[in-house]
Amino acid sequence: MSHAPVHPHDTRLAQGWHELRPALRHRHGWPERVSLVALDVAAFAAGLRLAHALFTRLTFDDPTLVTLPQFTAFGALLGTQVGVMAVVFFLGQMYHLPRGTSRVDLAVYVLRAVSIGVILTFALTTFLFPDLAYARRLPFYDWATTLACVMGLRLAHRAIWGALWRAGWARARVLIVGAGAAGQDLITRIHRRPELGYAIVGLVDDTPARSKARGVPIVGRTSELGTLVDVHHVDEVIIAMPEASRQALIGLISQVQREGVSIRMLPDVFQLMAGELQISALDGLPLLSVRDVALRGWRQTLKRGFDVVVSVAILIGLAPLMVLLGILIKLESPGPAFYVQERMGLDARPFPMLKFRSMRIGAEAASGAVWARRDDPRRTRVGRFMREHNLDELPQFINVLLGHMSIVGPRPERPEFVSEFRRHMPRYMERHREKGGITGWAQVNGLRGNTSIEARTQYDLYYIENWSLLLDVKIILKTVLSGFHDPNAY
């Protein structure tokens, strides 16, 4: 049977389609992005309209204030706001935020973009339309209402698309390179968050006699990465090989870049633990420092003042709840309501950490110091409820007030565990250069309880070397928004 000759025009079409397909691959998420732009534009317009209505209603009976014209006279201002806001949001990368961006981070980004946009809107309007009269307080109303509209519609947009992605619609196809511990942890996190819209199509790994990991099949070897991306119509490649050499990583990236897909990599342990490199000089000789700690001087004073104010407010506000928990503990089992446990704090000095007692008396008499485990039989019924919702840690605000701890910081460990971890964990003792915290950067990222000590240390050192009051507020808000519930709290 003879095959029909291939026409040169057909060959050119095939080649053109092959070259075009990577570009089209990037467009899989255009409905989500276009709908976000449309909602933002609606929010920009609605914010100004709501500001006008709110200002008119609140100042209607005050004859000393300038009366606003009808909203129909604000066409120039409305057009300026929509145009300026759109440019500010585009230049501010507001349409390229990662899908996993937290609500706290989103609020910060929106606050910054809206603030800049409102300032530029009214500055440009005053310059272009000097005859347009508006009350001086209108920009403040506009800032508040536009911020509320943008944030509200963006949260609604996230909820709707999260539901669609959870149902399996329009997910980004992800290929993970590396089936080791890092790759398996990545699989677990993606499966745990289906609302982020990622679908794992397979793993790429060179380990012989391995066909799958965590239920995900291994579809090929690293030398075939470029072909696999094309065959499986991959949208994003995540390289989870933190131990790979620089030369190997460059080879992998070069294969993927030719296919025109997004590339992300898990950093190696040293990168996360070293923090940001600081350049200093010794008599003109440049030196690199990797252990500079940000929390010193006035920063330390600011953090301490913040801790005192917040801890006093919480102890006063939650006093009835703490009294109730103490009564329930005493009613269920004999013994004290509080449990005092020695922990290692600032500069590795021990201190007595207070907790509500959640286990029966003498729970560690036979076993010694051990990690709590899921369905731990040593817990009381009240203790199980308290530990699942972190209520057993409320007395630690007394530790904060006394200066033993901070509200946010590395989680203090028991001396028995510290002596064990310091032997095999590089830079572990660096986390004791700051006070331990009730909550922390590691905890709000799911690293609590019997989880990886290496990963927790990485997050703790990142927090210490990148501290800011805004970061503390962000961690506290993430803790509150999680409902004080953690799947690793037991």
Neighbour-count burial for 34-43, b at 16+ CB within 10 Å, e otherwise: eebeebbeeb
8 A C-beta contact, residue 409 and residue 415:
no
> What local confidence, expressed as pLDDT, does residue 15 receive?
43
Domain boundaries along the sequence of the chain: 27-166, 172-266, 298-481
Single-letter residue type at 446: G
> What local confidence, expressed as pLDDT, does residue 22 receive?
45
Answering whether pTM is above 0.85, one says no
Q: Please, which contacts does 49-56 make with residues 24 or more away whose CB atoms are closer than 8 Å?
A: 49/78, 50/145, 50/149, 51/138, 51/141, 51/142, 51/144, 51/145, 51/146, 52/138, 52/141, 54/141, 54/145, 55/135, 55/137, 55/138, 55/141
Tokens of 43: 């929010």
What CATH number does domain 172-266 carry, 3.40.50.720, 3.30.390.50, 1.10.260.40, 3.40.50.300? 3.40.50.720
Sheet order of strands, 216-220 included: 212-213, 216-220, 198-204, 172-177, 236-239, 262-265
> What local confidence, expressed as pLDDT, does residue 4 receive?
40
Quickly list DSSP for 20-55: HHHHHHGGGGHHHHHHHHHHHHHHHHHHHHHHHHHH
Helix (H, G, I), strand (E, B) or coil at 214: coil
CA distance 149 to 158: 14
> What local confidence, expressed as pLDDT, does residue 487 receive?
57
CA distance 118 to 368: 61
CA distance 343 to 416: 9
In this prediction, the residues of the chain whose per-residue pLDDT falls under 70 are: 1-29, 58-73, 131-135, 209, 257-260, 267-296, 362-377, 449-450, 483-490
Residue 439, strand partner residues: 408
Residue 287, strand partner residues: 280
> What local confidence, expressed as pLDDT, does residue 328 receive?
92
